[in-house]
With several copies, the nearest count.
Chain A
């Protein structure tokens, strides 16, 4: 399995999950991620795993809760409206500290919206679309290869921290095909002595739970969670930098937008304009260190999103508003072209744009 194959991003997620030892998939069809359940419905029976098409996204995330609580490596996937429906379940999964992978291949909204690519679920993914103040690790691939690699990483991190991990992609990366190498399973095998598997001689029952009726106990639980989140912040920030060292203008983009930004930077450099790219790979924890560093050397930042502006808040927070942070976005499935971005770059570097 270490030869390159041509795969859709969605398929790469599925095959990487199989390679990572995921043997339980629960999901519900929705464009543009339906290739994931479809692929799983083929593959799982072949590897002795379970593919179950749930009656809804709500049921799917709660099946994930059950399977994760029972000790399995498990995943679900959906797209924007379906992910909204999973918010209660995600909060429960985070509250009960259950490891699992949740994939959101974003489409345009709000509401039914459309089925074309978007990045307008950034807030939902990173700030907690569910209630109660939990955190998920959020990973944002920008290529089919990363779809596969971050899937494996996601399972590792989920088990390591006993926490849900969200893979946040967009319709473009989900639908596009690129060469990809599905690596051999490089995830850690983790013991799950806490799982509800039947007592089988164990003295005390294992309980999977997020209920703490006494306020002080719930606060203790939250404090434990916050400690864990601090640990994640310390260890799990991931990003990529391209041409940032001498850059006057730092483009900030994730997922497909980062790919387009890269093309735009090529054009800019050809035209003697010093633009660079800072690509957050972990959207939560948001990779603050490079922002702090680059806020010293660059003159401005330009956040690019397929939304009306969400990550820009984290960019401003990470840079402590030390330098102007500009924004350019498209919504509803419209995708910006490298040329569009280049024009924004020009406007800023030629000083025609107020902040």
Chain B
């Protein structure tokens, strides 16, 4: 399966990092991966997003136009990417900040209150990891264990943050898995 994922949110919500960790995990699984951010002044105060590709086949173009999955952490992101998601694709919606209804019927939508979960876990900054866990639950792009390894490698210099974030990833994962039942 070729995963083409877009992650999008406010500048400070950590979507770029979230994408990088997923990409890192894909690399550890020896898949072909790429990550590319949107860049430029629109980042300033506006939205930030990145595209991640994880595939066993040809690397090809790193650009994602019709994502197989999208994570939208705020309203402008939903507005921007809802229509783009591929038929039968996945959309993770941050229901803590977005109360607008999703119109698409031909995709799988998961409403996850990632901010609330993160605050519950004691740190709003981990909302992105909650969302990442939720995404993995929905698309199984990488193994959870590998994801943790990726996170740990990325934060090798800050081991103290690892456990909490692992918990956040797990909480997001569980939230979606539960809703799948």
Closest to A340 in B: B65
CB < 8 Å neighbour of B58 from A4, A114, A179, A262? A262
| Smallest CB separation, B4 vs chain A (Å) | 11
Closest B residue by C-beta to A107: B40
Interface check B35, CB cutoff 8 A = yes
Give the distance in Å from the alpha carbon of A31 to the alpha carbon of B40 in the complex.
8
Please indicate the chain A residues that have their CB under 8 angstroms from the CB of B36 in the complex: 172, 175-177
Which of A171, A176, A335 interacts with B34 by CB under 8 Å? Answer: A176
How distant is the Cα of A114 from the Cα of B40 in the complex, in angstroms?
9
A73 to B104, CA, bound (A): 56
In the complex, how many angstroms separate the beta carbon of A267 from the nearest chain B beta carbon?
A: 10
Q: Which residues of A contact B65 (CB under 8 A)?
A: 337
Whether B61 and A259, one on each chain, are in contact in the complex, defined by CB atoms closer than 8 angstroms, is yes
Question: Restricting to B20-47, which residues have a CB under 8 Å from any CB of A?
Answer: 20, 23-24, 27, 33-37, 39-42
Judge if A6 is at the interface, Cβ distance under 8 Å. yes
Q: Is B107 engaged at the interface, CB distance under 8 Å to the other chain? A: no
Query: Do the beta carbons of B59 and A338 come within 8 Å of each other?
Result: no
Which of B27, B39, B61, B63 is close to A6, meaning CB atoms less than 8 Å apart?
B27
Contact of B33 among A175, A179, A262, A337 (CB under 8 A): A179
Q: Say whether A6 contacts B62, CB under 8 Å.
A: no
Whether A177 touches B63, Cβ cut-off 8 Å, given contacts A172-B36, A213-B41, is no
User: For B23, what are the chain A residues with a Cβ–Cβ distance below 8 Å?
Assistant: 6, 177
- Rounded to whole angstroms, the CA-CA distance of A106 and B59 in the bound complex is 22
Q: How far in angstroms is the closest Cβ of chain B from A1?
A: 16
Residues of A within 8 A of B63 (CB): 172, 260, 335, 337
Q: How far is the CB of A120 from chain B (nearest CB, A)?
A: 17
**What residues on A are CB-neighbors of B59 within 8 Å?**
143, 178, 259
- A4 cross-chain contacts in B, Cβ below 8 A: 27
Identity of the chain A residue whose Cβ is nearest the Cβ of B37 in the assembled complex: A175
Please provide the chain A residues from 156 to 178 with a CB less than 8 Å away from any CB of chain B in the complex: 171-172, 175-178
| Min C-beta distance of A287 to chain B, whole Å | 22
Q: Which of B35, B39, B58 is close to A177, meaning CB atoms less than 8 Å apart?
A: B35
Cα(A262)–Cα(B27), bound, Å: 21
List, in ascending order, chain A residues with CB within 8 A of B33's CB.
Answer: 6, 178-179
Q: Which residues of A contact B60 (CB under 8 A)?
A: 259-260, 262-263, 266, 338
Min Cβ gap B62→A in Å is 5
A46 to chain B, nearest CB (A): 15
Hey, which chain A residues are within 8 Å of B42, CB to CB? 213
Instruction: Choose one: A143, A175, A179, A260; the contact of B39 (CB below 8 Å).
Output: A175
B contact residues around A31 at 8 Å (CB): 39-40
Residues of B within 8 A of A266 (CB): 58, 60
Interchain CA distance A335-B35 in the complex, whole Å? 16
Residues of chain A lying within 8 A (CB to CB) of residue B37: 175
Residues of A within 8 Å of B24, CB to CB, are 6
Q: How far is the CB of B51 from chain A (nearest CB, A)?
A: 9
Cβ B20 vs Cβ A172 within 8 A: no
**Please, which residues of chain B bring their CB within 8 A of the CB of A335?**
63
Contact with A along B7-26 (1 / 0, CB 8 A): 00000000000001001100
> Contact between A6 and B40 (Cβ–Cβ < 8 Å)?
no
A17 CA / B65 CA spacing, docked (Å): 33
Using a CB–CB cutoff of 8 Å, the interface residues on chain B facing chain A are 20, 23-24, 27, 33-37, 39-42, 58-63, 65
The 8 closest A-B pairs by CB, nearest first: A263-B60, A176-B36, A177-B35, A260-B61, A179-B27, A115-B40, A176-B62, A263-B61
Q: Residues of A with Cβ closer than 8 Å to B? A: 4, 6, 31-32, 114-116, 143, 171-172, 175-179, 213, 256, 259-260, 262-263, 266, 335, 337-338
Residue contacts A-B, CB under 8 angstroms, 20 given? A4-B27, A6-B35, A115-B40, A171-B39, A172-B62, A175-B39, A176-B34, A176-B36, A176-B62, A177-B20, A177-B34, A178-B33, A178-B35, A178-B62, A259-B61, A262-B58, A262-B61, A263-B58, A263-B61, A337-B65
